[in-house]
């Protein structure tokens, strides 16, 4: 996302159900990235919308006894209302039933048909109504749909096909030569693995004899277009394709944010369609992970889907947005429980950020008459203020970089580290003691520096929590609290001395306990019992020295953990203090790895931890577990987890 012009898209969501946490995450993520791009001065366009054709919509409308158009007109309101509640600032919301989209789809179809890219043939195979996809015998898993495990129907009918197979070799080469095209890396490998098998031509039509709710083929009125071929075109029909060449050239190519379950359609179907049309490829297709309930994907059929509306009602919109962005490592799965939400809310927002604001406002009120004091001219040049300034500037750079590298969780973690550094700065400077001195300059410089740190951190967190961060900046006496200038994030002394600050209060009131009915922390599945070796017979030679028994090994519990923050332990050279997430449990670890890793290199890594050690203190800092690492000579590397695996998993 480093280019000056940024075009971000979400998938267009199927309207046959109400929005759930998967929809909310993708849309909030796109909104935060778009706001972040604008924050740093980039021309940005953010598109979302709804996918409104297909067999499931037609069947739902029939059950309700209404026309499909009336049904989608009603259900689309759920998404519009949800995005308004979630503070989503999209630039365009496209519906596939709109004339501006339908006419472009039909023009594309006619163009491809005229150039021999589409042909008619007989189809005999398996069809899944839920996914609206055709499958061959070898695609099925135990006779069921490989995507949703539902029953499939045998279908034999004439249809129209897009010559997708002719682009297989080109697509493989393109993916290999453009590593940024599919992110994260393991998703690129997943697509390349799919392309090792011969690519089939894509059936792109449905006969009206069994489906009428769709865009009619311009060259055969007895058919409608396959819903995926229709839906994917929205990314270009919304920004001027075939209508406004200047607008299209300005916006395209796009960055597509998708869930990993629609990877194939976006990294195989879509690029082949664009290649046939002569349209440049998207910049990036970024596939994020799933939100899990325990170790299981949330799904309507299992009854474990989180309703974002419920969470917003209980805890506020901004807190919910913050949790989604801070908790999930982009690209990997993450576990959602209400207890995990409450822990992060209390730790990050109530204890760290909210408490810091309250302390600063209280002391400015008590010692400075409720007005920001003026700092000394050289206040930022040395000592603790200079170190705090360095932390703030690092946070700005890391957060900005995280927008480009799809590591937003790491950028957020660095901002929260700067918040905690400001709390430590106050403890070190002790303004309550400085207030007793005859010279007020040190006190004034301390309080002003803490207020400036809050200004910078709130500016960076504005894309995540626009309402709350506006409230925070207003409390600091800022005249235009909603406007964050990128150049102001990189300099100090922006706040006006003498400005009246707000009254102390709870920006994020602490949540004392989960609400009734909140789910308990999920217990990870136990490892499958292995056959235990027989005990030595009486009179035989015992185990060699250093060899342990199976029973000994059974006592060690190894779990995966995600590193959320890392910092040096003061007064040491080798020790780093890590804050890790293990399932929905937060832990603090101390490890002697500072000579081998910089703190910022660790954020977001999934490491392996001995989780059942008795806590110990190293240099006065408690460590609640041990990292696994391998060393040889002067080299040391942490044991990490390859691929897509959520934190808290049992290492077997």
pLDDT at 71 over 60: yes
Which position has the higher pLDDT, 482 or 648? 482
Which position has the higher pLDDT, 554 or 496? 496
Instruction: Give me the pLDDT at residue 634, please.
Output: 61
Instruction: Give me the pLDDT at residue 365, please.
Output: 96
pLDDT category of residue 540 using cuts at 50, 70 and 90: very low
How confident is the prediction for the chain on average, in pLDDT? 87
Q: State the residue for tokens 């995540």.
A: 464
Q: Which residues contact 541 (CB under 8 A, 6 or more apart)?
A: none
Phi then psi for 524, rounded to 5 degrees? -65, 150
pLDDT at 497 over 80: yes
CATH 1.10.730.10 domain locations along the chain: 336-490
Instruction: Give me the pLDDT at residue 543, please.
Output: 44
Q: Report the pLDDT averaged over residues 335-345.
A: 87
Q: Report the pLDDT averaged over residues 57-82.
A: 93
Residues 296-313 pLDDT 10s: 555 555 555 566 667 778
pLDDT at 193 over 70: yes
Say if residues 626 and 585 touch (Cβ distance below 8 Å).
Answer: no
pLDDT category of residue 75 using cuts at 50, 70 and 90: very high
pLDDT at 255 over 50: yes
550-638, which class in CATH? mainly beta
pLDDT at 594 over 90: no
Quick one: tokens of 249? 């050239």
pLDDT at 537 over 50: no
CATH 2.40.50.140 domain locations along the chain: 550-638
pLDDT category of residue 2 using cuts at 50, 70 and 90: very low
pLDDT at 225 over 50: yes
Instruction: Give me the pLDDT at residue 299, please.
Output: 56
Task: Give the count of alpha carbons within 13 A of 372, CB side only.
Answer: 26
Cα dihedral across residues 359, 362, 368, 374: positive or negative: positive
pLDDT category of residue 499 using cuts at 50, 70 and 90: very high
Lowest mean pLDDT among 133-137, 220-224, 360-364: 133-137
Say if residues 148 and 56 touch (Cβ distance below 8 Å).
Answer: no
Instruction: Give me the pLDDT at residue 529, please.
Output: 34
Return the biggest CA–CA distance within the chain.
Answer: 93
Q: Report the pLDDT averaged over residues 544-551.
A: 55
336-490, which class in CATH? mainly alpha
Helix (H, G, I), strand (E, B) or coil at 375: coil
* Cis amide leading into 184 (omega within 30): yes
Instruction: Give me the pLDDT at residue 141, please.
Output: 86
Q: Report the pLDDT averaged over residues 412-422.
A: 96
Q: Report the pLDDT averaged over residues 100-112.
A: 98
pLDDT at 535 over 70: no
Instruction: Give me the pLDDT at residue 405, please.
Output: 93
- Residue 405 Rama label (left phi>0; alpha psi -120 to 50; beta): alpha
Lowest mean pLDDT among 42-56, 410-424, 633-647: 633-647
Cα separation, 99 vs 195, in Å, equals 35
């Amino acid at each position: 996302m480093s280019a000056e012009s940024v075009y971000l898209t979400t998938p267009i969501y199927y309207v046959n159900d109400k929005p759930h946490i998967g929809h909310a995450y993708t849309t909030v993520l796109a909104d935060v990235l778009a706001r972040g791009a604008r924050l740093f001065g980039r021309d940005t366009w953010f598109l979302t919308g709804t996918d409104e054709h297909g067999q499931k919509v037609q069947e739902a409308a029939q059950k309700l006894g209404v026309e499909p158009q009336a049904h989608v007109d009603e259900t689309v309101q759920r998404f519009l209302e949800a995005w308004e509640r979630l503070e989503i600032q999209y630039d365009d919301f496209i519906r596939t039933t709109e004339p501006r989209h339908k006419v472009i789809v039909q023009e594309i179809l006619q163009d491809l048909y005229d150039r021999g890219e589409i042909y008619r043939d007989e189809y005999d195979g398996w069809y899944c109504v839920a996914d609206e996809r055709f499958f061959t015998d070898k695609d099925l898993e135990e006779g069921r749909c490989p995507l949703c495990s539902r029953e499939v129907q045998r279908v034999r009918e004439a249809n129209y096909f897009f010559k997708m197979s002719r682009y297989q070799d080109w697509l493989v080469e393109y993916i290999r030569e453009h590593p940024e095209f599919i992110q994260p890396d393991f998703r690129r490998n997943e697509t390349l693995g799919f392309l090792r098998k011969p690519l089939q031509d894509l059936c792109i039509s449905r006969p009206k004899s069994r489906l009428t709710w769709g865009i009619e083929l311009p060259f055969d009125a007895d058919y409608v277009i396959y819903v995926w071929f229709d839906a994917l075109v929205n990314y270009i029909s919304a920004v001027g394709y075939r209508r406004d060449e200047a607008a299209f050239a300005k916006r395209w190519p796009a960055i597509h944010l998708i869930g990993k379950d629609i990877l194939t359609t976006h990294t195989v179907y879509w690029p082949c369609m664009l290649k046939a049309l002569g349209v440049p490829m998207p910049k990036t297709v970024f596939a994020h992970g799933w939100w899990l309930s325990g170790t299981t994907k949330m799904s309507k059929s299992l009854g474990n889907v989180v309703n974002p509306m419920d969470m917003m009602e209980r805890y506020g919109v901004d807190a919910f947005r913050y949790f989604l962005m801070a908790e999930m490592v982009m690209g990997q799965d993450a576990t959602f429980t209400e207890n995990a939400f409450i822990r992060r809310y209390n730790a990050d927002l109530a204890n760290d950020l909210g408490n810091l604001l309250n302390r600063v406002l209280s002391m400015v009120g008590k010692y400075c008459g409720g007005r920001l004091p003026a700092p000394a001219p050289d206040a930022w040049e040395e000592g603790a203020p200079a170190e705090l300034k360095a932390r703030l500037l690092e946070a700005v750079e890391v957060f900005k970089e995280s927008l480009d590298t799809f590591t937003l969780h790491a950028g957020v973690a660095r901002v929260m580290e700067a918040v905690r550094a400001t709390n430590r700065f106050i403890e070190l400077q002790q303004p309550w003691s400085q207030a007793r001195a005859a010279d007020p300059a040190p006190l004034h410089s301390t309080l002003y520096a803490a207020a400036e740190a809050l200004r910078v951190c709130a500016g960076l967190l504005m894309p995540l929590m626009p309402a709350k961060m506006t409230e925070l900046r207003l409390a600091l006496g800022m005249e235009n609290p909603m406007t964050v200038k990128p150049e102001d994030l990189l300099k100090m002394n922006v706040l006006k001395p003498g400005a009246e600050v707000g009254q102390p209060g709870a920006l994020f009131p602490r949540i004392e306990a989960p609400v009734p009915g909140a789910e308990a922390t999920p217990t990870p599945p136990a490892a499958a019992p292995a056959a235990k070796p027989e005990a030595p017979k009486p009179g035989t030679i015992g185990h060699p020295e250093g060899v342990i028994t199976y029973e000994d090994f059974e006592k060690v519990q190894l779990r995966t953990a995600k590193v959320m923050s890392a910092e040096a332990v003061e007064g040491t050279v080798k020790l780093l203090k890590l804050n890790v997430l293990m399932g929905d449990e937060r832990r603090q670890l101390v490890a002697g790895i500072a000579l081998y890793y910089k703190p910022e290199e660790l954020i977001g890594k999934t490491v392996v931890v001995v989780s059942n050690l008795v806590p110990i203190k190293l240099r006065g800092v408690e460590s609640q577990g041990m990292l696994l690492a391998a060393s040889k000579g002067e080299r040391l590397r942490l044991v990490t987890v390859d691929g897509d695996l959520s934190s808290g998993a049992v290492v077997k």
